[in-house]
Amino acid sequence: MPRAIRGVLIECEPAIKSILIHIDSTQLNNDAIIEDLDETHLMVKEQMVKTLQARLDEKLKETYRVEVPLDDSDEDKGM
């Protein structure tokens, strides 16, 4: 009989995947990721998904900035 393992399949870009693996090994004690499946897929413990997501968001905030969109105000227009 084959084995069935409960978990959450995570699909992401390779870059994000390597960040996730890094987070798992440095911050989470290798406790979140069950298996590294392929370039874009990871198998993660169900109860750890939220933590992992939160840590990833933190990490991305450090590295990733978006330009502030132009804020055209409604007030100026033909009022």
List interacting residues with other proteins (CB under 8 A): 1-13, 16, 20, 34-35, 37-38, 41, 43, 46, 49, 53, 56, 60, 66, 69, 74
Q: Is the CB of 22 or the CB of 35 nearer to other proteins?
A: 35
Min separation Cβ 52 and other proteins, Å: 8
Cα-Cα-Cα-Cα torsion 20, 21, 23, 24, nearest 10 degrees, comes to 120
55/16 Cα distance (integer angstroms) = 12
CB of 3 to other proteins, least distance (A): 5
Nearer to other proteins, 28 or 56 (CB): 56
Q: How do 33-38 and 41-44 pair as beta strands?
A: antiparallel
Question: Smallest distance from the beta carbon of 57 to other proteins, in angstroms?
Answer: 8
Cα–Cα dist 43/11, whole Å: 9
